[in-house]
Amino acid sequence: MTEREETLELLVDAARRFARDVLVPAEAEVEASGEIPARVVQGLRDLGLFGMTIPEEYGGLGLSVYEEVRVVQEICYAQPAFRSYFGTTNGVGTLGILNFGTEEQKRRYLPQLATGEMLASFALTEPDSGSDAASLVTRAVRDGDHWVINGAKRFITNAIHAGVFTVFARTGSKDSGASGISAFLVDRGTPGLTVARPYAKMGFAGSHESDVTFDDVRVPASAMLGPEGTGFKNAMKSLDHARLHMAAVAVGLARRLLDEGTKYAVERRQFGQPIGKFQLVQGMLADSQAEYLAAKALVEQSSRDRDAGRKTTLEAACSKYFATEAAGRIADRMLQIHGGNGYIKEYAIERLYRDVRLLRIYEGTSQILQVITAREMLREAGL
Residue 63: phi, psi to the nearest 5?
Answer: -70, 145
138 - beta bridge partners? none
Pairing verdict, β 119-123 and 181-187: unpaired
The SS3 call for residue 273 is strand
Residues ≥6 apart with Cβ < 8 Å to 208: 157, 158, 159, 160, 161, 198
Distance CA 86, CA 49 (A): 7
Which amino acid type is present at position 202?
M
User: Is the CB of residue 61 less than 8 Å from the CB of residue 7?
Assistant: no
Of 196, 146, 147, which is closest to residue 170 (Cα–Cα)? Answer: 147
Is 6 noted as a catalytic residue in this protein? Answer: no
Taking CA 374 as the corner, what is the angle to CA 320 and CA 177, rounded to the nearest 5 degrees? 90
Angle at 296 between CA 133 and CA 257, to 5 degrees: 95
Annotate 277-333 with DSSP letters as a single string. Answer: GSHHHHHHHHHHHHHHHHHHHHHHHHHHHHHTT---HHHHHHHHHHHHHHHHHHHHH
Which one of the listed residues 31, 260, 363, 376 is annotated catalytic?
Answer: 363
Residues belonging to the active site: 363
